[in-house]
Amino acid sequence: MELERHEYDVVVVGAGGAGLRAAIEAHESGARVAVVCKSLLGKAHTVMAEGGIAAAMANLYPEDNWRVHFRDTMRGGTMLNPWRMAQLHAQEAPDRVRELEDWGALFDRTADGLISQRDFGGHRFARLAHVGDRTGLELIRTLQQRTVALGIDVYMECTVTRLLTDDAGITGAFGYWRESGRFIAWEAPSVVLATGGIGKSYKVTSNSWEYTGDGHSLALQAGATLVNMEFVQFHPTGMVWPPSVRGILVTESVRGDGGILKNSAGNRFMFDYIPDFFRKETAESEAEADRWYDDKKNNRRPPELLPRDEVARAINSEVKAGRGTPHGGVFLDIASRRSPEYIRKRLPSMYHQFKELAEVDITSEPMEVGPTCHYVMGGVEVDPDNAAARVPGLFAAGEVAGGMHGSNRLGGNSLSDLLVFGRRAGLAAAEHALKRMGRVELADDALADAGRAALAPFEREGGENPYTVQHDLQQTMHDLVGIIRTAPEMEQALARIAALKERVANLSVEGHRQYNPGWHLALDLPHMLIVSECIARAALERQESRGGHTRDDFPASDAEWAKTNLICTPTGDGGVAVRHQPLPQMPPELAEIFEETA
Amino acid sequence: MTATAPRGTGAVSPGHGNGMPAPRRATIAERTLRTDRWWLQPLVTVVVLVLFIAYSTFRAFQNAHYFAEPYISPFYSPCLTTACEGDTFPELFTGPSWISPAIYILVVPLGFRLTCYYYRKAYYRSFWLSPPACAVGEPHRRYTGETRLPLLGQNVHRYAFYAGLVFNVILSYDAVLSFRDETGAWGHMGLGTLVLLANAALLWLYSLSCHSCRHIVGGRLNSFSRHPLRYKFWMVVSRLNANHMKFAWISLFGVAFADFYVLLLATGTINDLRFF
Amino acid sequence: MTYDATFRVWRGDASGGELQPFTVAVNEGEVVLDVIHRLQATQAGDLAVRWNCKAGKCGSCSAEINGRPRLMCLTRMSTFGEGETVTVTPLRTFPVIRDLVTDVSYNYEKAAQIPAFTPRPREKDGSHRMQQVDVERPQEFRKCIECFLCQDTCHVIRDHEENKAAFAGPRFLIRLAELDMHPLDVVDRRNAAQEEFGLGYCNITKCCSEVCPEGIHLTDNGIIPLKERVVDRKYDPLTWLGSKIGRRRSD
């Protein structure tokens, strides 16, 4: 077998915010670092982030500090977050934002010349450092340019298909160049997973093709565990039409700036979906809701601004009840409520997005929107302080790491998560590599096996087309493990996933190894399947509704479940087992925070 | 198995593994696959510019019919020699009678327009076909752009701009003088006055919207906040600059028209429409 | 609203290739990238195409559509007549890898050569203070999604492969402009812009500005101001004289 080999201290898989931040830190800690990414450098899904980076810098509100941010994050995640992660995140985020400026980032400014911060759902104070509505692009470009300036090696358009291990932990990784299909292996005592999420297992998603859950799956195969996999965030407003852009995000700011949701009968239906828990802080009448935009003191919030999961569920119910739009969404109307000038000024990128992609002028007609799979709260179970997974030498940061956001993530916390835990993972990975004495060895039989597995789809003839299998999986997850879940549907999903696994084992692809997207998809599908199985199994197990997990058959939250995380572990036959794990106990000095500001 | 490749080079590997031959471009024979009428714009530019050049050359060498009291053609102002018609400018020297007084001065506005960032685009595309239109192959075997003489000289644009400003002042002065009647008494206004005023105004708009002007008034600064006044200037010029192309064409027509109007008056073809 | 469209897609690799005709269904509201994906899923499983976000934010799916450099995800099928043949080819300026995928490593090599951002020290309280008016100019260039359509359309390298060594292309000229206008940066890159990155090759014919999907005014706001700054430094006798007699700081 022809194989290109390299030797590093740290291999970072993924070149989004977390991966690049990890690589920078590992490099600065003296390690030899390689970054491996499936796309070109700078194209990672981080570019899609719009809102900003949550950090209690107190540039606008001096009363903001890490304790308030910590509290907001924990409450947003319904206290299911490991407290230590949330604490580190809140404490370190401001420094992580500031250092971006040393690397060339240009955030919007306050009148004093400091980094400006914006309001967002769930954050008590205006806290999101931002650049217009393209903060993710600024973040990725800044880190990309820093990575290049430091001279870190980047393997672009290169996919990792296996992590290699020995008795003492990680020894390296195996993959292929997308361009040539040739194999490549890295010897490295530390691997940082920063591969992002799993959204491509769903039919309607705001995620890109890269989000096939590679990191989740690689970690499981290497013997690590996944946590909180049942929690998948559906953003209430994604585009639904035209089909080509179905799932693309419509920012929360549309509703914040006056947009309302209507069904096909023209009713402002959100008033019918106010849960008791939020009734006290939500407007009772349209008149009161409309007054809120100008007078927030004497009026309560419009129900359109309820938490993401509530709004997503309400839209889902309207569509299911047959009151949806022709394309299966609901109307998001700002045109009839605000002047065209106002809309163009406040929502330039939304105006542009609908104009370019849907030929809809949002200043004169309503948008059609529906829920879209946005983010997975679950991921690799890691040590909060050093991002280490349960396999020595394996680290995870960013969306692929689990826990940090509990059952539901607040907007703006993902970018800060990337930076804080990306850095910690890079630091710990470098330390681990420098501590591990001698050279790690890659076993020849493991390499040969990885190569055989990667080429298997070419060996088979007359098998199924990978695109069909992917389509069926997305349909299954969309229909049966979507926003609203029931036990029979999830059992059906698991049966279908088992059948899909067999189909994947018999796929065949046409053509040759050189830049062959059919082959690439065939190799991604096993990852997508195992991640889907984790989600379905954990979701079936958790018999309550909480955050990003809603059970029609268990609609209430349960105090016992509030103390439990679900952990997915690999079984010998390539399947997944789920076990319960009690939450870590929060120390009293942190528990106090929830009393003092409640 | 191949040997370990060098590390720490900062190589951002494009993804073709090792051992591959240097890749080449896609083999597409067509010079362009554009299906629109991409040749129209350069064609129009050539036609219009050639017409202007032909007209202005003829007029510059004509050495006649450029003054019709109280109006002087912009092609001949400032008129510097003793042979000049009219008396709008001090007569500085006596040149050979066969040299038209326009020749001494036209080099300045010509230089300004020739080095103008907009006109450069227009003539590089339409005359030099470099490129004729976007994504349409250019016919030249080599291309060095503005890296060497003579095109390196385009960098003198800002001096042409300064010189152009002097001319703007003079042509504005001419417009002011056109408020006098044939006897030199103030309080006259005819259609010619409006023509000269409009011409001067358009030239100011064209000059002030120039990219060099934008740089000089404030663009060269990195801190606008410490120079609020220059920032204001820069904002104004930036707004004008967005219309630089428009001003470039309109002012070109304006100059030609002003000259043509004076020609018509000077040859007695028409009479000036007099308001008061 | 579904109809059958005629497509011609360039297929091949460095050793050669040709425009292959396809007849493919097109639905209402689709973009060219959707049609390419349909070809992949139904007629040509190994058709190589690079894409990511499919929302005009990442700049991956650059190609030439009817001869014009475009993002496939932002080119709506409704802009073509139903009877019109749509021709899709890879970017011409870069070496082809396979089908619609090109080797854009030229751009990454140029990016690596640019002298890195170097900030002045932080203020005493650990922050950097900048005013909004001062960050807005460089911010325009940081909107760049690196789709490299400007590099593709630029005739300096599109029509003259040999210029690639001496010319960094519009994307990196505006990167230099961005750094030169950055309120915190302390490095003078004007000489390098002219000598090493080939600013003089640009004849400001503005094709880069025409193709930019982000609407960045590369020429008017980036390259021309950079040329003017280079004139300040290299071709302005007054500045030169001023710096010799020491009255003007050599900024």
The domain ranges of chain C are 3-101, 105-245
Fold category of A456-560 in CATH: Methane Monooxygenase Hydroxylase; Chain G, domain 1 (1.20.58)
- Residues ≥6 apart with Cβ < 8 Å to B73: B59, B66, B67, B258, B259, B262, B263
Quick one: which H or E segment has residue B253? helix B244-266
Q: Does residue A10 belong to the interface with chain B, where contact is any CB pair within 8 Å?
A: no
Considering CB atoms only, which of B9, B12, B16 is closest to A177?
B16
Omega before residue B131 within 30° of 0, cis: yes
pLDDT at A598: 45
- Residues ≥6 apart with Cβ < 8 Å to A433: A9, A10, A31, A188, A189, A190, A393
Q: Tell how strand A564-570 and strand A576-582 pair up.
A: antiparallel
pLDDT at C246: 59
For the residues A140-147, what does the mean pLDDT come to? 97
For the residues B65-85, what does the mean pLDDT come to? 89
Inter-chain residue contact B24 with C14, CB threshold 8 Å: yes
- Computed from CA positions of residues A356, A361, A365, A369, in that sequence, does the dihedral angle turn out positive or negative? positive
Whether A551 is a known active-site residue: answer: no
Measured CA to CA, the distance from residue C131 to residue B231 in angstroms comes to 13
Considering the candidates A21, A123, A127, A255, report the single residue annotated as catalytic. A255
Report yes or no: A158 and A37 within 8 Å, Cβ to Cβ.
yes
Considering CB atoms only, which of A6, A153, A178 is closest to B15?
A178
Report yes or no: C225 and B215 within 8 Å, Cβ to Cβ.
yes
* Mean pLDDT score of chain B: 89
User: What are the start-end ranges of the H helices in A238-293?
Assistant: 253-256, 276-279, 286-292
Measured CA to CA, the distance from residue A483 to residue A175 in angstroms comes to 34
For the residues B210-218, what does the mean pLDDT come to? 96
Q: Is residue A61 classed as helix, strand or coil in its secondary structure?
A: coil
Question: For the domain bounded by C105-245, which CATH number is listed?
Answer: 1.10.1060.10
* Whether pLDDT at B7 is above 60: no
pLDDT at C250: 43
Q: What is the 3-state secondary structure (H, E, C) of A194-228?
A: CCCCCHHHCCCECCCCCCCCHHHHHHHHCCCCEEC
Quick one: which H or E segment has residue A238? strand A232-239
Inter-chain residue contact A3 with B1, CB threshold 8 Å: yes
- In residues, how long is chain B? 276
pLDDT at A125: 87
Q: Tell how strand A394-396 and strand A190-193 pair up.
A: parallel
Task: Give residue-wise pLDDT tens across range B106-125.
Answer: 999 999 999 999 999 999 99
Q: In angstroms, what separates the C-alpha of C199 from chain B's closest C-alpha?
A: 8
Q: Which CATH number fits domain C3-101: 3.30.2130.10, 3.40.140.10, 3.30.365.10, 3.10.20.30?
A: 3.10.20.30
* Whether pLDDT at A15 is above 70: yes
Inter-chain residue contact C95 with B220, CB threshold 8 Å: no
pLDDT at A294: 82
Q: Does residue C169 belong to the interface with chain B, where contact is any CB pair within 8 Å?
A: no
Strand partners, C181: none
Chain A contacts of C106, Cβ < 8 Å? none
Quick one: which H or E segment has residue A192? strand A190-193
Among A278, A275, A286, which residue's Cα sits nearest to residue A317?
Answer: A275
Q: What is the 3-state secondary structure (H, E, C) of C224-241?
A: HHHHHHHHHHHHCHHHHH
Fold category of A235-372 in CATH: Flavocytochrome C3; Chain A, domain 1 (3.90.700)
Least confident range of A303-312, A390-399, C16-25: A303-312
Chain A contacts of C180, Cβ < 8 Å? none
The neighbour count for residue A406, using CB atoms within 10 Å, is 29
- Give me the percent of chain A exceeding a pLDDT of 90: 78
Residue type, A289: A
Using the structure block, give the residue that is written with the tokens 């230099």: C176
Q: Does residue B230 belong to the interface with chain C, where contact is any CB pair within 8 Å?
A: no
Q: In angstroms, what separates the C-alpha of B132 from chain A's closest C-alpha?
A: 28
Q: In angstroms, what separates the C-alpha of A243 from chain C's closest C-alpha?
A: 7
Give contacts of B 10-49 with A, CB under 8 A. Answer: 10-20
Task: Give residue-wise pLDDT tens across range A100-127.
Answer: 999 999 999 999 999 999 888 788 888 9
pLDDT at A440: 85
Omega before residue A371 within 30° of 0, cis: no
**Secondary structure (DSSP) of B87-106:** -SS---B---TTS-HHHHHH
Among B117, B122, B146, which residue's Cα sits nearest to residue B210?
Answer: B117
Considering CB atoms only, which of B23, B117, B219 is closest to C14?
B23
Q: Does residue C156 belong to the interface with chain B, where contact is any CB pair within 8 Å?
A: yes
Among C89, C90, C86, C68, which residue's Cα sits nearest to residue C77?
Answer: C86
* Whether pLDDT at B224 is above 80: yes
Give contacts of C 109-138 with B, CB under 8 A. Answer: 109, 111-112, 131, 133-134
Structure token pair of residue A298: 């004497």
* Whether pLDDT at A475 is above 50: yes
Best of A177, A186, A445 to disrupt the B interface by mutation (most B CBs within 10 Å)?
A177
For the residues C205-220, what does the mean pLDDT come to? 96
Task: Give residue-wise pLDDT tens across range B21-74.
Answer: 445 899 998 999 999 999 999 999 999 999 999 999 999 999 999 999 899 999
Inter-chain residue contact B143 with C163, CB threshold 8 Å: yes
State the ipTM, two decimals: 0.94
Cβ contacts from A onto C, under 8 A: 164
Report yes or no: A65 and A56 within 8 Å, Cβ to Cβ.
yes
pLDDT at A129: 95
Residue type, C222: G
pLDDT at A401: 97
Report yes or no: A377 and A406 within 8 Å, Cβ to Cβ.
yes
The conformation of residue B21, written as its DSSP 8-state character, comes to P
The answer to whether the predicted template modeling score (pTM) of the entire model surpasses 0.90 is: yes
* Whether pLDDT at B227 is above 50: yes
In chain B, where are the structural domains located? Answer: 40-266
pLDDT at C28: 86
**Which whole-number Å values give the CA distances from B99 to B53, B63, B95, B171, B259, in the listed order?**
18, 8, 7, 22, 19
Quick one: which H or E segment has residue A368? strand A367-376
pLDDT at B4: 36
Chain C contacts of A179, Cβ < 8 Å? 97-98, 101, 103
Using the structure block, give the residue that is written with the tokens 């997508």: A528
Q: Burial, C190: exposed, middle or buried (Cβ in 10 Å; 0-12, 13-18, 19+)? A: buried
* Whether pLDDT at B16 is above 90: no
Q: Does residue C200 belong to the interface with chain A, where contact is any CB pair within 8 Å?
A: no
Report yes or no: A497 and A529 within 8 Å, Cβ to Cβ.
yes
User: What are the start-end ranges of the H helices in A387-516?
Assistant: 413-435, 444-459, 466-480, 487-505
Measured CA to CA, the distance from residue A119 to residue A106 in angstroms comes to 19
The conformation of residue B267, written as its DSSP 8-state character, comes to T
Chain C contacts of B23, Cβ < 8 Å? 14, 95-97, 103
pLDDT at B8: 45
Quick one: which H or E segment has residue A370? strand A367-376
What CATH class is the domain A3-231+377-435?
alpha beta
Confidence of residue C161 (pLDDT cuts 50, 70, 90): very high
Best of B16, B34, B143 to disrupt the C interface by mutation (most C CBs within 10 Å)?
B143
Least confident range of A48-62, A388-402, C193-207: A48-62
Using the structure block, give the residue that is written with the tokens 């559509």: C65
**Secondary structure (DSSP) of A260-273:** EEE-TT---GGGGG
* Whether pLDDT at A93 is above 90: yes
Q: In angstroms, what separates the C-alpha of B247 from chain A's closest C-alpha?
A: 28
* Whether pLDDT at A55 is above 60: yes
- Computed from CA positions of residues C18, C22, C28, C33, in that sequence, does the dihedral angle turn out positive or negative? negative
Name the more confident of A511 and A487: A487
Considering the candidates A118, A235, A409, A551, report the single residue annotated as catalytic. A235
Report yes or no: A534 and A465 within 8 Å, Cβ to Cβ.
no
**Secondary structure (DSSP) of A307-357:** -HHHHHHHHHHHHHTT-S-TTSSEEEE-TTTS-HHHHHHH-HHHHHHHHHH
Q: Does residue B269 belong to the interface with chain C, where contact is any CB pair within 8 Å?
A: no
Quick one: which H or E segment has residue A186? strand A183-187
Name the more confident of A307 and C57: C57
pLDDT at A596: 65
Whether A255 is a known active-site residue: answer: yes
Chain C contacts of B27, Cβ < 8 Å? 12, 16-17
Report yes or no: A426 and A23 within 8 Å, Cβ to Cβ.
yes
Considering CB atoms only, which of C47, C48, C130 is closest to A113?
C130
Considering CB atoms only, which of C60, C144, C179 is closest to A43?
C60
Measured CA to CA, the distance from residue A481 to residue A307 in angstroms comes to 20
Quote helix, strand, coil % in chain B, to nearest 5.
Answer: 50, 5, 45
Chain C contacts of A96, Cβ < 8 Å? none
Inter-chain residue contact A182 with B12, CB threshold 8 Å: no
* Whether pLDDT at C244 is above 90: no
